[in-house]
Structure 1
Amino acid sequence: MKALVKERAEPGLWLADVPEPAPGPGDVLIKVLRTGICGTDLHIRDYDGWAQQAVRTPIVLGHEFVGEVVDTGAGVTEITAGDLVSGEGHLVCGKCRNCLAGRRHLCRATVGLGVGRDGSFAEYVALPASNVWVHRVPVDLDVAAVFDPFGNAVHTALSFPVVGEDVLITGAGPIGLMAAAVARHAGARNVVVTDVSEQRLELAREVGVSLALNVGEATIADGQRQLGLREGFDVGMEMSGRPEALRDMLANMTHGGRIAMLGLPSEDFAVDWASIVTSMITIKGIYGREMFETWYAMSVLLEGGLDLGPVITGRYPYTDFEAAFADAASGTGGKVILDWTA
């Protein structure tokens, strides 16, 4: 079968022929229909410092996908051939304290699909049935392909109550845009998204934010004044990993404000901890999705009319992966999809 492979310990990706996986006991074999390109995939392509530590070559990339079940291993009873499915990209041990307590998203032995084991940028992928989400109601294939990052957005956006609250989201990348759509759909009063890319801010306007603010031209405090906010934001969602973004967010939160932090900084940086203490700010780190409560929430949100269409801005056949990766790396668009049926 064809697959996108990190063949060598150097920058680049290769479209190669690899053996088709076989489902073992408890596994599901899936014919991949579409995949989404993630920032993690860009890091692996570039073979930066993180990728050099995290990845052992050769490996098939990819963890965002939708596909059709074609076979199941022994012991699989709730999933059948023909089911349309997406996959939870965090494979957990099932034995640690958190796994046994039902907190699988907190497993310390998590292995990432497409990072620690062969992934979904291929014509077929095998996955434990416990990591498979069956789409029981109709769903757009492009949206189903990005259920993994959509889950990051939902986990972040619903970490704190947002009904009637004023929400600040720093970073209008794909997950920030999806989080903005979720917060608005879930009943936030105002949703403000910041970035320095006008193209991405225009996407934020398409998903219905109250204010898309270019922080290269105006401050968050300016945005507050424009919206008539007197005491700051109630809920913050930090999606960029940028030190200045978190500092600006902290400076514009109300006392008792709550921040969900998904953006992953590339290095250590200082913040005003005295202000965090005296303003009684809560900061919660977010990594991945709650299995499978977040997935249930995703499906229900889509059933309720949540529209993620504006967030998906690039569609390519898998043979044009180089153009697709360049698009995803440009920092100006939303999610980029690879079609594996082309």
Structure 2
Amino acid sequence: MERLGVYAVNGKMKAIVKHQRGYGAEMQMVDIPYIEEHEVLIKVKATSICGTDVHIYSWDEWSESRVNPPYIFGHEFAGEVVETGSKVTNVKVGDFVSAETHLVCYECPQCLSGQYHICKNTKIIGVDTHGCFAEYVALPAVNLWKNPSDMPFDVASVQEPMGNAVHTVLAGDVAGKTVAVIGCGPIGIMAVGVARAAGAAQVIALDLNDYRLNLAKEMGATAVVNSKEQNPLEVIHQLTDGNGVDVVCEMSGHPVAMDQGFKMVTNGGRVSILSLPVRPVSIDITNDVVFKGITVQGITGRKMYETWQQVSSLLKSGQVDVTPLITHHFPLEDFAKGFDLMIEGKCGKVVLHP
């Protein structure tokens, strides 16, 4: 396989490295990656911190079982193509791109039927491979999404997580329906905006964090519920005239909140689960699933590339404005400040600039 030379005089770059099997990360000088004939090298202009990155930084049970330090993590970004492999035809030097973060095999039964987002052999950038918390990142050209030239770098960097929100909300019809978004992390907050843009009659946001509930209001929530101070099932009962919500988008992963989600959904409704509980969750299958006749969906990633088209269109049209959600910017060197804010829940989306 052809391997191309590195881009830059000294061949070194700054990168945030998950350096040990424990809490934290380090800023290091590392080699700029080589690219192969099917890959491109991208100069990162903006990279945003995801909840998955926080799991890795904090070193919880999930990350302990999944990732293998030392390596560069991070997977949400926008940047400029600075070098292309000899077999790359879909992008060129100078293109402004973001990336689909699932590396798929294109050979398993799911891929062969067009369901790339549930590829049996998926690897995730910044989880299973080196990521984008760096000045440069090398990726397969097939994973790149070309951005409009006038899109701000920070907005372009959050399209990947917005894709998760779009996939979750639009996994069924929401027009004219009542939608509950449980868990107002950044993706949950984006789900609020997507549901409003898709014509939901009510969008009820539930969380324990008033800061993030206020962001959900800015993104269009018609009602917010602090589940620590109010009984969410009683509030939902009042807001829906006792009928329950038509759609639940579960973004919290908390066992109590998930159980409440199944209890608040109406008969024949839908529960779409994007969250990743770290332990098994107890659900009353008989009364809250079977007798209700509901649809339960597991949501992973984004449909390739249908969801990216939806995200791009929603942003370009102005139907969804994510700028209220992007609350903090830091130089790459100040990454610890961003992670501290994420862990404390005192932010929306944190964007780092190499």
Q: 1:71 aligns to what SS in structure 2?
A: strand
Other-structure match for 1:301: 314
Q: 1:32 aligns to what SS in structure 2?
A: strand
- Deviations for 1:130-149, whole angstroms, at most 9, x for unmatched residues? 11011135322111111111
Letter in 2 for 1:250: F
Other-structure match for 1:169: 181
Other-structure match for 1:310: 324
Letter in 2 for 1:333: C
User: Which of the numbers 77, 81, 106 marks the counterpart of 1:69?
Assistant: 81
Shift in Å at residue 160 of structure 1? Answer: 0.9
- Deviations for 1:199-239, whole angstroms, at most 9, x for unmatched residues? 11111111111101111122234333553534111111000
Q: Distance in 1 between matches of 2:267 and 2:237?
A: 17
Other-structure match for 1:279: 292
Give aligned-pair identity as a percent.
45
Q: Does residue 214 of the first structure (1) align with residue 221 of the second (2)?
A: no
Q: Distance in 1 between matches of 2:143 and 2:164?
A: 16
Q: Does residue 130 of the first structure (1) align with residue 142 of the second (2)?
A: yes
Q: Distance in 2 between matches of 1:153 and 1:71?
A: 32
Other-structure match for 1:257: 269
Q: 1:251 aligns to what SS in structure 2?
A: helix
Q: Does residue 325 of the first structure (1) align with residue 342 of the second (2)?
A: no
Q: Which shows bigger deviation, 10-19 or 286-295? A: 10-19
Verify the 8 A CA contact 1:25 1:73 in the aligned structure 2: yes
Shift in Å at residue 48 of structure 1? Answer: 2.5
Q: Distance in 2 between matches of 1:251 and 1:90?
A: 33
Q: Does residue 103 of the first structure (1) align with residue 115 of the second (2)?
A: yes
Other-structure match for 1:37: 49
- Deviations for 1:164-186, whole angstroms, at most 9, x for unmatched residues? 00001111110000001000011
The normalised TM-score by structure 1 is: 0.96
Verify the 8 A CA contact 1:162 1:186 in the aligned structure 2: yes
Q: Does residue 7 of the first structure (1) align with residue 7 of the second (2)?
A: no
Alpha-carbon spacing, 1:9–1:244, altered in 2? closer, same or farther (3 Å): closer
Other-structure match for 1:335: 349
Q: Distance in 2 between matches of 1:107 and 1:226?
A: 42
Moved over 4 A (4+): none
Q: 1:231 aligns to what SS in structure 2?
A: coil
Q: Distance in 2 between matches of 1:174 and 1:203?
A: 9
User: Which of the numbers 59, 82, 95 marks the counterpart of 2:94?
Assistant: 82
Q: CA RMSD in A?
A: 1.3
Verify the 8 A CA contact 2:21 2:59 in the aligned structure 1: yes
- Unpaired segments ≥5 residues, structure 1: none
Letter in 2 for 1:312: I
Q: Distance in 2 between matches of 1:330 and 1:205?
A: 20
Q: Distance in 1 between matches of 2:127 and 2:90?
A: 27
Q: Distance in 1 between matches of 2:122 and 2:283?
A: 29
Verify the 8 A CA contact 2:46 2:79 in the aligned structure 1: yes
Q: Distance in 2 between matches of 1:232 and 1:301?
A: 28
